[in-house]
Amino acid sequence: MCQLTRILAIFTLGQHLADAHPLRSWGSQQFKSLVSFGNSYTDQSRLNYFTEHNGSPPPVGWEQPDSKNTASGGYVWGHYVSEKTNLKLYNYAVSGAVCSNKITPRMLDSINAPYPSVLEYEVPAYVADSNHLLKSGKPFLDISSADTVYSMWIGTNDLGEDAFLTDSQVSGKTIPDYIECIYQAFDQIYNNGGRYFVLMNIAPLQLTPLYGTPENHGVGPNHYWPDKPQNITEVSYRMWEQVVSVNAVFKYQTPYELLIKRRYPGAFFAVMDMYSLISDIYHNPSNYLKHPANVTGFNNHCDITGQNCKRLPNHDSFLWFDELHASQRTDQIIAEKFIEVLGGTSKWATYW
């Protein structure tokens, strides 16, 4: 076979492969659906179903209601993504979730069980819904591999109080086990047809009031952590070390899994740098928040039991809604930047 014939044969094979796998790279793809996984930073109302039904999960084919009564004090970022792009949102995030209850289980008294986790509940719930047919015979999840993006933002609870930060993980488990759990969740989604993934890395939790240093207005005992120790500077620095270590692993393990190990052939990944984005809001608040910008305080103040809550005025001036959670204004910013990530040219993302 002459050289020209070989080239033509390779080109023809490439065309056949392209026809068989019509996925396009970031920026050239037009997405129609967003499937999200995570914790209270993403949950709209799924945990409410568990607490209102004695710990029972939503049935297969449950239409999750939108809600502005979330951990942000209003709508969460996924709501704004859907609103601004018309993407259909399928949200499986559960407030309080960790990646796996086999690593860092956290009990929820109201359901007498651990918070539903990503690996043991959220992803299986998505898979079950993807196989569910409506009475009309149409699939409940009317999505395809070519126009659906999957987001994962999990780790705030895994790394926090009552988990790795306080050495409360299952005996023998380490932070690398939590990181591998995330890629195991991607395995299941990939095997179910997912091909576009956004891994949102860990927020700068050491800047939250819950884990901040005294000079950054870090809080003492509160309704999230009633028995918080007095050494809040040590707490903050340990959290900082955990967060930056995990994010460094995400930065290098993701391309390793894709390009070297070939764990997800034909898939596209973006790592969205939530750490840098929220840090930028923190250090340059006038570019994002209404005057007078407030990045060390928070809007919603409750007593140590979580009751008698009072919100301060000018809610769009706050980075944080409460001791742990970003405000609705911050979630609007996250949504704007997430949409840019889908466009393929965001400075807040690295693409593969």
Q: How far is residue 287's CA from residue 293's CA, in Å, rounded to a whole number?
A: 10
User: Mind listing the pLDDT tens digit for each residue in 231-252?
Assistant: 999 999 999 999 999 999 999 9
Percentage of the chain beyond pLDDT 90 is 91
For 59-194, where are the alpha helices, taking DSSP H only?
77-85, 123-130, 175-191
CB 245 within 8 A of CB 158: no
According to CATH, the superfamily of the domain at 26-351 is: SGNH hydrolase (3.40.50.1110)
Q: How far is residue 57's CA from residue 116's CA, in Å, rounded to a whole number?
A: 9
User: Mind listing the pLDDT tens digit for each residue in 91-142?
Assistant: 999 999 999 999 999 999 999 999 999 999 999 999 999 999 999 999 999 8
Q: DSSP for 212-275?
A: --GGGT---S-SS-TT--S-HHHHHHHHHHHHHHHHHHHHHHHHIIIIIS-SSTT-EEEEE-HH
Per-domain boundaries in the chain: 26-351
Eight-class DSSP state of 331:
H
Contacts of 328 (CB under 8 A, 6+ apart): 72, 73, 74, 75, 315, 316, 321
Q: Is 23 helix (H, G, I), strand (E, B) or coil?
A: coil
Confidence class for position 25, pLDDT limits 50, 70, 90 = confident
Structure tokens at 206: 């050491």
At residue 29, does pLDDT exceed 90?
no
